[in-house]
Amino acid sequence: MQTWIIFIIASALLGSIAMLFKKKALIKAHSAEYLLAFKPLELALLLFFLPFIVFKAPAHIILFIFLVSLLTSVALLYIAKGYRHMELSVVAPLHNLVPLFIIIIAAVLLKESITYKHFAGIGLLLVGTYYLESEHRAGHWFSPLKQLKSKYVLFLLFGFMLSAIIAVSEKVIISSVSPFTLLFYHYSFQSFNFLVLSTFLYGGWRDIIHAYKTSWKSLLGNAFFANLSNLAYFFAISMTFISLAAPVKRLSSLFAIFLSGKFLKEGRIWHKTIACLIMLAGVFIVAI
Specify the pLDDT at position 137. 47
pTM here is: 0.84
Residue 220: pLDDT band by 50, 70, 90 thresholds? very high
**CA-based nearest residue to 87, from 153, 28, 148:** 153
- Least confident among 84-88, 99-103, 133-137: 133-137
Specify the pLDDT at position 251. 82
Q: Please, are residues 88 and 266 in contact by the beta-carbon 8 Å criterion?
A: yes
Q: Which residues contact 119 (CB under 8 A, 6 or more apart)?
A: none
Is 90 exceeded by the pLDDT of residue 129? Answer: no
* Mean pLDDT score across all residues of the chain: 85
- State the alpha helices, DSSP H only, in 27-97: 31-46, 59-85, 88-94
Residue 147: pLDDT band by 50, 70, 90 thresholds? low
What's the CA gap between 14 and 62, in Å, rounded? 27
Distances (CA, A) of 42 to 39, 47, 131, 190, 223: 5, 9, 35, 10, 5
Specify the pLDDT at position 139. 46
Neighbouring CB atoms inside 10 A of 98's CB total 23
Q: Which residues contact 198 (CB under 8 A, 6 or more apart)?
A: 32, 33, 36, 204, 207
| Phi–psi pair at 52, nearest 5 degrees | -95, -5
What's the CA gap between 159 and 226, in Å, rounded? 18
Residue 178: pLDDT band by 50, 70, 90 thresholds? very high
Specify the pLDDT at position 162. 94
Q: Which residues contact 126 (CB under 8 A, 6 or more apart)?
A: 282
Query: Over the range 15-24, which residues count as b (16 or more CB within 10 Å of their CB) and which as e?
Result: bbbbbbbbbb
Tell me the Cα Rg of the chain.
18
Is 70 exceeded by the pLDDT of residue 255? Answer: yes
| Phi–psi pair at 176, nearest 5 degrees | -110, -25
Is 80 exceeded by the pLDDT of residue 50? Answer: yes
| Structure letter (DSSP) for residue 150 | -
Q: Please, are residues 129 and 277 in contact by the beta-carbon 8 Å criterion?
A: no
256-266 pLDDT tens trace: 888 888 888 88
